[in-house]
Structure formats: structure tokens, C-alpha cells
Amino acid sequence: MKKLSILILAIGLFSLFSCKKDETKVVLTYFTPAQVLTPSTGSSYILKKVNKDSLLFTYTWSNAKYNLTDVIKPTYTVEMDTAGGTFSKPTVITTTKDLSFSMTVGAMNKIILSIFMGEGDSLATFQFRVRASLADNNPATNNASEVITLNITPYSDIVIVSPIYILGDATEALWDNTKALEMTHIGDAGQFAIVAHLLANKQIKFIGDLGQWTPMWGLGEIGTPDSGLLKYRPIGDPNDPPIIPSPAIEGDYRVMADTANLKYEVTLTSAQLFLVGNATTAGWTPANGIPFTKVSPGIFTITTTLTAGGMKFLETTTGWAPQWGTDLTGTGNFGPLIYRPTESVTDPPEIPSPGAGTFTISVNLATKEYKIAAK
């Protein structure tokens, strides 16, 4: 009986100390938030396109400190919002375990124009803060720095280019030149692109004005359904250039027409996309890929929860190619898409997540760009 009593007492003491220890692990009674060190609040910047690749400033901040020993290193998220905003849906500049992040003039300009819909050459005021966290799923470990404000004047980056159009019996417009499909100018002089559904073994051409047959671009001296040279028919020229043949397989194709260098490319592209990555609920398992919604040929969107980490877009749930990643300029807000057609091609870098929360990811395969916005 004496031995039994001692055993019961020992178990009780062990349970008591275990409970106290567990409580210590989950209760945070004190922490010191990170503080932004640079840039200084109230600073003003006038952005110039000629300096787009130059350093604008470097965000630096102090360590966030917690009342626990041997904790993991905090994750820091630099957030941006308009003046007077509440950071309810902030734009994430970066997520890192470092204590600094450098921003170029061009990157900041693109954020202001593309995310905040700012106007070139117009002064705007923005708020910034640094949020620290030990775990995305534990709000008790989240803390934010004081807010700093910066006055920034972006440069205008809009280039007005007259569009061109695609038509032909391979397209939904057929040969009706009043219904030809508008192509998007993709940055380089004379280059236009569209993702369109093409019928097999039909024809296409390009025109410069709706309702008119000139100017026109057709098949040049060399060409296949995949690529070739263009022949230009200027206004007033009575001679029609030959038609460009469409591919032998019906599907969604990215069509690029270079009117400056007179060449074209037609590439089969994604009819569906799936989201994977350690920033997603699918993880890095293709079979668990989360399907995007196809809005139109080449345009996809998905609204989902993300955490810190990376992601990619797959065309299939049975393998790692074809897939879309990004390059070193890609951010958690937007960036270029890099295509991996087969598994024999090197993997492109992961698309970085903007952090924890609910986000809408938009994909445009004509311009080969993605955007990520807080929902």
C-alpha cells in the first residue's frame, strides 16, 4: 500500500510539472517588435526610368525578440499599403529570415503602377511596416513594427502601340475582319502575342486595322505551322500574301507575331493549370495539384490560401513537366513566367509566396506573366 501511494504521488507531480512546462511553451507574455531602421519615415523619392535597374533603398530592421529561449528564427514580412490604410490587405514586398531587403527603382515603380494603380509622374504616399512571426498558424507570435511613410513619385511606363489582330478560319473570328482577335503588345518593338484556340489544318493571317484588309501580314518565303517568316502587305498593295497554316492538332496556342523582324511563332500552350508548392495546401505532390479556373484561352485564375514558401504551375497532375516557374526577378506580387516543356529541361526557379493569407493568383500566358493579390 505504501508503494502504491508513492507511485500515485510521483505520477501526480510528473503531470503537474508537465502541464506547467507545456503552458510555458504556448503562452507569450512579452515580445519586442522589429523596428524599421532604414529608410527614414517621411523620405521622398522621385523615380526615373533611366535608373530602373539602380538601387532605390534598402529596407533594414532590428531583430524581433520573444520571451522564450531557443526559439526558431523569426520570419519577417515587409508590407506596403496606401497612406491611411489599415494593412488589412497589404502588398507583400518580401518574406525573409534576414534583416534587410534591397529594392530597385524599377521594381518599386512596377508595384505602384501595377498593384496600386498609381499614375506616372504623380506624387503618392505609402505606408510600410515589418511583421515578424514564429509560425504562420500561430497568430500569438505575430507582431508588427511601427509604420513608416514614404513619398514616392513613379515614372510613367506606358507605351502606346497600335494593336494588330489575328483572324482566319482557324480562329473564332473566321475571315470576318470586323471580328478579328486583338493581340497584346508584349514589350519589344513590333512584338504581339495572343493565346487563341486554333482549329487544325486551317489558316491564319494578321491585320493592322479592324474592318480593313491592309496593312496585313501573311506567310513569307519560309514557314511551317510552328514558325516562319512574315510577308507584309502595306496599305494600297493589291497583292495578298499567302496564308499561314495552323497546326495539325486543335488546341490552345500562343501565337507571336513580330512585325519589326517579320517572323512568327505558334506554340501549343496550357489548356489547364494546377498549383503546387510548399506554400500551398497541395505541397510538392503533383497528384494533389489544385486546379486553376480557365477564364479564356491563356488566362487562368485561382483564389487560395498560401503560407511562406514557393510554388509552381503544372499542366498535369502526373508529372513535373510541362510546368511554369519564374526567374530571379519574380516576386510575391508579380513576375515573368518561365516555361519548362519537358523534364529534360532544367527546372525554372520557384514562384515566391507573398506570405500567409488568402490570395488570388492570375496567370496570363500571352504576356507570360503572373500576379498575386491579397483577397
What are 45-57's pLDDT values in tens digits?
Answer: 999 999 999 999 9
Residue 289 in contact with residue 275, Cβ under 8 Å? Answer: yes
> What is 31-153's CATH superfamily?
Immunoglobulins (2.60.40.10)
- Do domains 31-153 and 165-268 share one topology? The answer is yes
- The CA distance from 346 to 364, in Å, is 22
> Under 8 Å CB-to-CB from 148, ≥6 apart: which residues?
36, 39, 40, 41, 42, 127, 128, 129
The pTM is what? 0.75
**Residue 17 is which amino acid?**
F
Give the bridge partners for 231, in sequence order: 218
Architecture per CATH, 165-268: Sandwich (2.60)
Domain ranges of the chain: 31-153, 165-268, 274-374
**pLDDT per residue as tens, the chain (375 positions):** 434 343 333 434 333 334 434 444 444 445 789 999 999 999 999 999 999 999 999 999 999 887 765 567 888 989 999 999 999 888 888 888 899 999 999 989 989 988 888 889 999 999 999 999 887 656 667 789 999 999 999 998 776 788 999 999 999 999 999 999 999 998 767 899 999 999 999 999 999 999 999 999 999 999 999 999 999 999 988 999 999 999 999 999 999 999 999 999 999 999 999 999 999 999 999 999 999 999 999 999 999 999 999 999 999 999 999 999 999 889 899 999 999 999 999 999 999 999 888 999 999 999 999 999 988
pLDDT (0 to 100) of residue 307: 92
Looking at domain 274-374, does it have CATH number 3.40.50.1370? Answer: no
In angstroms, rounded to a whole number, what is the distance separating the alpha carbons of residues 83 and 80? 9
Q: Are 110 and 118 in contact (CB under 8 A)?
A: no
- Give the cell for residue 85: 490604410
CB 341 within 8 A of CB 334: no
